[in-house]
Amino acid sequence: MSSPVFGNYIDGEWIAGGPMFENRNPANIDDIAGLFARGSAADVEAAAGAAAAALPAWAAMPAPARGNILYKAADILDRRFEMIAAEMTREEGKTLPESKGEVRRSINIFRYYAAEGARLAGMLAPSERERVQTFAVRKPVGVVALITPWNFPSAIPAWKLAPALICGNTVVLKPASAAPLSAWRLVEALHEAGIPKGVVNYVAGPGGALGDALIGARPVRGVSFTGSCQVGYKLHAEASRRRLRIQLEMGGKNPTIVLADADFNSAVENVVNGAFFSTGQKCTATSRAIVEDAIYGRFLEALVERTKRLKVGDGSQAGVEIGPCVDDAQIQTVMRYIEIGRKECGEPRAGGFRLSGGGYDKGYFIAPTVFADVTESMTIAQEEIFGPVLAVMRARDFDDAMRLANGVPFGLSASIQTTNVSRVFEYISRMEAGLLTVNLPSAGVEYQLPFGGTKDSSFGPKEQGQAALEFYSDFKTVYLKY
């Protein structure tokens, strides 16, 4: 059976033909989810040109009318909900319930920003002068480039596309090569919803070549990037040379602090959920459990026992809790860190190996891995691994736990498990991270609130909620004498 072919989308046209690349199912690498047109620098140039040409009319369209197109696209996605979720599991590997949750979130994001079309508030302030009216209106930034990772292949493109469009910008989207189909479905829905040609452009292909072309394209005025620190810092340096507006959301080394007074069973569940669901491939995943000395031994034992019971497999199968790593490069990275962990602190207490036999041989499966007695200077306590690997660390008390939690260059998300309300407020005040949870997993955020980190994890205005409008719009301030 031949594989479906997905073209790029430039100036309202689907462009296929030319070189292609494969999108394979990480749970079964014999299964090709689709063939994608491999975009070139010339395609990026054409897409940026089309976006520039479409900008004046799109920016001039009343914002509620722009919102209506987002509403229509959301309805189209809703009608295809089951299919798009199944495709996401096939291309990225996350379990079907996780994919459904993500597609639902993309639909909600489209509707949330569609409604923003009827608000998009500027500012009104009293003047110091008589008979002078002062106000500021929002205007778009211009053509923006959106560069997205594979781990949330629908929600991240959605939470960049929707606020960019409602603010009147036109866009060129470059999805991750490991999972380009979910983003393609968003663009397809916008196309069918009647978005004017050139307003949204989609160019898939290798990040290095296309990224350089995007940053260098003259019409591009802003870049929103989510991905690794390595790529993000490079983009920042290049974008700064062109004085582009830029927003970066990158890696993390997120802690969950477990205090002795925590609700024990829910703390175990929250750490397991935060560390291993989505195969540990969430930027907000827990990768360090920092456990107070008084319950360390008992907590570790319960955590290891629960981890060993996790069901790993093809995420499309009912009952599977943990899917595969996304591709060969990612599983190699994770296995390399597991070997580093072995050298640093001995045999892991759970997992530590690639799963084999039966269906496992066709995919990128790792047994969820727990290292115990990890200390702060070890590599596995400092570097992002981005896989199902958890470092468990011992803290003398709350202050020691806070010191350890903040002792990394990253600051994306953090969690605390405790029933002591004073400790909760101490943690909210002292924790150096952009997203804090209490008695919940470190991962699992909602679209109505600002999203993003601090320290080396992020740069620029936050994403999602009302905060996203600050990146995708600028103010024009008016002083009017009457």
23 makes contact with ligand NAP (CB under 6 A):
no
Site for ligand NAP in 244-263 (CB under 6 A): 249-252
Q: Which residue is nearest to ligand NAP (CB)?
A: 211
User: Rule CB under 6 A: is residue 384 a binding residue for ligand NAP?
Assistant: yes
Return d(Cα 401, Cα 28) in angstroms, integer: 41
Query: Cα separation of 257 and 423, whole Å?
Result: 11
- How many residues would you count in the chain? 482
Q: What is the secondary structure of 196-263 as a DSSP string?
A: PTTSEEE--S-HHHHHHHHHH-TTEEEEEEES-HHHHHHHHHHHHHTT-EEEEE----EEEEE-TTS-
Which of 249, 321, 384, 463 is an active site residue?
249
Active site residue 345: no
Which CB sits closer to ligand NAP, 76 or 235?
235
Applying CB under 6 A, does 456 fall inside the site for ligand NAP? Answer: no
Q: Which residues contact 237 (CB under 8 A, 6 or more apart)?
A: none
Provide the β-strand partners of residue 225: 147, 248
Give, in order, the Cα–Cα distances in Å from 168 to each of 74, 162, 372, 391, 431.
18, 10, 51, 45, 36
Residue 417 beta carbon to ligand NAP: minimum distance, rounded to whole angstroms: 23
Q: Tell whether residue 188 is a contact of ligand NAP (CB under 6 A).
A: no
Q: What gap in Å lies between CA 241 and CA 235, rounded to an integer? A: 10
| Residues contacting ligand NAP: total by CB under 6 A | 30
Q: With CB under 6 A as the contact rule, which of the stretches 86-94, 150-158, 267-275, 424-432 interacts with ligand NAP?
A: 150-158
The answer to whether residue 161 forms part of the interface with ligand NAP (CB under 6 A) is: no
Decide: is 227 part of the binding site for ligand NAP (CB under 6 A). Answer: yes
For residue 305, give every residue at least 6 positions away whose Cβ sits within 8 Å of its Cβ, in sequence order, or none: none
- Smallest distance from ligand NAP to CB 411, Å: 10
CB 183 within 8 A of CB 175: yes
Counts of helices then strands in the chain (DSSP H, E)? 15, 22
Strand order in the sheet with 413-417: 369-371, 389-395, 286-292, 254-258, 413-417, 435-438
**Does 94 sit near ligand NAP (CB under 6 A)?**
no
Of 34, 149, 157, 280, the one binding ligand NAP (CB under 6 A) is: 149
Is residue 413 helix, strand or coil? strand
Pattern of binders to ligand NAP over 276-315, x per CB under 6 A?
-------x--------------------------------
Q: With respect to ligand NAP, which residue has the nearer C-beta, 276 or 398?
A: 276
Selected range binding ligand NAP among 169-177, 291-299, 317-325, 338-346, rule: CB under 6 A = 169-177
Site string for ligand NAP, 346-375 (x = CB under 6 A): ------------------------------
Task: Confirm or reject binding of residue 382 to ligand NAP (CB under 6 A).
Answer: no
Number of Cβ within a 10 Å radius of residue 337: 21
In the numeric block, the tokens 């595969």 are attached to 324
Active-site residue 167, yes or no? Answer: no
Q: Under the criterion CB under 6 A, does residue 90 sit at the interface with ligand NAP?
A: no
CB of 148 to ligand NAP, least distance (A): 6
Instruction: Judge contact between 8 and 19, C-beta under 8 A.
Output: no
- Residue 66 vs 174, nearer CB to ligand NAP: 174
User: Which parts of this chain interact with ligand NAP (CB under 6 A)?
Assistant: 147-152, 174, 176-178, 206-208, 211, 226-228, 231, 234-235, 249-252, 283, 384, 386, 412, 453, 457
Enzyme catalytic residues = 249, 283
